[in-house]
Amino acid sequence: MENKNVFIAIALSMSVLLFWSAFVDSPQPIDRQNQKTTSSVKKDKITDNGIVPNIDGTVLKENISRKDSLKKTKRILLENKKIKGSISLEGGTIDDLSFKNYKIDIKSNDIVQFLNPKETKNGYFVESGWASIGNKIKVPTSKSIWNVVGNKVLTVNNPVTLEWNNGSNLIFRKIIEIDDNYLFKINQEVKNNSSAQIELYPYAQLTRKNIPEDLKGFYILHEGFIAVLDEELKEDDYDDIEEKKIVREANKGWIGITDKYWMTALIPAAGEKFKSTFLYQDAYKANFLLKNPKVIAPSTKANNEIKIFVAAKEVQTIDAYAEKENIEKLDLIIDWGWFYFFTKPLFFAVDYLFKLTGNFGIAIVLITVMIRLVFFPLASYSFKSMAKMKALQPEMARLKDLHKDDKVKLQQAIMALYKKEQINPASGCLPVLIQIPFFFAIYKMLFISLEMRHQPFFGWIKDLSASDPTTIFNLFGLLPFTPPSFLIIGIWPILMGLTMFVQQKLNPAPTDPIQAKIFMFFPIFLTVILASFPSGLVVYWTVNNILTIAQQWFIMKRTTVKTN
Amino acid sequence: MAASILIFIILLLIKFYNFFISPLLGVRCRFLPTCSEYCSVSLKEHGLVTGGVHSLKRIMRCHPIKILGGAHGIDLVPSKKYKSKELH
């Protein structure tokens, strides 16, 4: 009872929020997209006041295919065991990157293409460079063509060096390395062969032309701009940034853009103050610019290291980076939520069971059993008193009728009845409240888990992170047509609804007729809501229901025998 | 002003809870009046701060573990006004 009902309560609140976003929120991004183009031109001029060092910000409106754009510019290839792609020599931009271990969907063999060249529709790329006050110094731009010095293919332990000469005695270099996961290190170097001292500000910038197509837009998961600045987590949605540019200053930290499963992050060199800017200017941009310039005397060199993550949000990998590279709170890029301290250990438990059993669905079933065991005594206590209460319901109704107009008398009569029948008081509301974080945690963990992506369960469930693909409206595939998506109500959600119905039957029905109706309607309502949720979650609910029914039924049977 | 708006919102939430969430939780009250009744009365009587503190304390008592302050039975909002109006 305990667990189940907390969950129902959470689900109800959540479904309000979900419906809210489905009907109220979602049409808005389309409107905004149309407004964007008109406003962006003006903003350009305000920032270019000559006092602030300026980051090159041109975004191409072109729209050619990924294949064509990759052919357009010269590139150096990069590959390790997790990623592959290339770096464009035009601009020295990292703009072609795929995750080798993740397929686009369960049916295809194509891997996820995450970064895309600027000429493509969904351009998403990482730039780094130098800025000067008033753009007086000729620095490399997104159009500059870099030369490769030495090694021509970027692999682990084989860095590449790009070089660009500005034609007036400044030589720029980028020494780019990758490790065996998702980390790029770019060592930017400027050699001043002129006779004047110069000042340059290093920067790095993420540019993304469109909101990702698979944006969930769910209240329980942050997708969009993210930063940890001086140990403080900042999260901004895409539409916040469309409305308003956000500038922050910090002594340490990182900035990035996070998707449900993927991320990019930029990390300035340690010990450097920097300014972080999130803005929309023909494209979504996140950049940092160091506060203090590198002062480069004639005939000397200066350099600056930038770390760039372009990663799949694998928990262990991200945690290892946070520790090894000493990047503060990088692990927060995985949105564990408020109940971080529950969610994360829970994840490790499920992941352990997954590795042990080899099936994520079985891991979910096992963790559900374990949770039931933890709450077993609490639930038993509650079921016992509930069972007695149910037996006393006719008597309660009689008392209510008797003391219709006097609440206090009624309360006293009920208390006296409890005493007479020796009923333990119910478990109270605090035990319920305590469990809310816990159940929110398991829910959230299953919702965000990259590890559950494309993991099969038994039978027709080929991907636990996707909703149950079967539907009752074509008799689970017997009839040869596919109903519209809102009518896809699969076997697991229906099982969930049925088990919930049975479970409810074991509880005393509410006395208020309206409440009783809501109560009856609830399993149906939740079946429809859960139909579109990751099937892993529905499996969890169903198993939890069955276990609850078993426990409650067992206790009830015993108690009833005693009271009669 | 701000406090009274906040109280109004909390009272609305309690109403929502009464109708939509409480029935699903089944009979679980150790106290009379119930926690939700107690909270509404105490907020109305004592205002946001004192009433809020009373409400929180009540919820913290609402469990079966005696050494952690668990209790049960009739437990009225500590107020002469409430008692005089409702009890006598």
Query: A21-25, A121-125, A451-455 — which is least confidently predicted?
Result: A21-25
Taking any CB pair shorter than 8 Å as contact, residues of chain B touching chain A are 19-33, 35, 59-64, 70, 72-74, 86-87
Strands A262-267 and A170-178: unpaired
Distance (Å) from the alpha carbon of A414 to chain B's nearest alpha carbon: 9
pLDDT tens string A490-526: 889 999 999 988 888 877 666 677 777 777 888 888 8
Strands A301-312 and B31-32: unpaired
CB A336 within 8 A of CB A318: no
Cβ separation of B20 and A518 shorter than 8 Å? yes
CB A96 within 8 A of CB A124: no
Nearest of A548, A410, A439 to residue B26 by alpha carbon? A548
Cβ separation of A408 and B86 shorter than 8 Å? yes
* Nearest-CB residue to A429 (from B32, B35, B73): B35
pLDDT tens string B54-82: 999 998 888 877 788 888 777 888 865 54
Give the mean model confidence (pLDDT) for residues A550-558. Answer: 80
According to the model, what pLDDT value does residue A511 have? 66
What is the band of A311 on the pLDDT scale with cuts at 50, 70, 90? very high
Q: What is the mean pLDDT of chain A?
A: 83
What is the band of A44 on the pLDDT scale with cuts at 50, 70, 90? very low
According to the model, what pLDDT value does residue A380 have? 76
d(Cα B17, Cα B27) in Å, to the nearest integer? 14
B22 pLDDT above the threshold of 90:
no
DSSP A339-384: THHHHHHHHHHHHHHHHHHS-HHHHHHHHHHHHHHHTHHHHHHHHH
Interface mutation target, options B17, B22, B27, B86, chain A, most CBs of A under 10 Å: B27
Query: Nearest chain B Cα to A384, which residue?
Result: B28
What is the band of A534 on the pLDDT scale with cuts at 50, 70, 90? confident
Query: A427-441, A461-475, A530-544 — which is least confidently predicted?
Result: A427-441
CB A280 within 8 A of CB A348: no
Taking any CB pair shorter than 8 Å as contact, residues of chain A touching chain B are 1, 5, 8-9, 12-13, 381-382, 386, 389, 407-408, 411-412, 414-415, 424-433, 507-508, 510, 512, 514-516, 518-519, 522
Cβ separation of A428 and B21 shorter than 8 Å? no
Tell me the ipTM for this assembly: 0.76
Cβ separation of B23 and A515 shorter than 8 Å? yes
**Which residues are registered as beta bridge partners of B74?**
B32
According to the model, what pLDDT value does residue A423 have? 66
Nearest of A503, A488, A484 to residue A533 by alpha carbon? A488
End-to-end CA distance of chain B: 33
Q: What is the reported pTM?
A: 0.77
Query: Nearest chain B Cα to A393, which residue?
Result: B27
Cβ separation of A428 and B20 shorter than 8 Å? no
A266 pLDDT above the threshold of 90:
yes
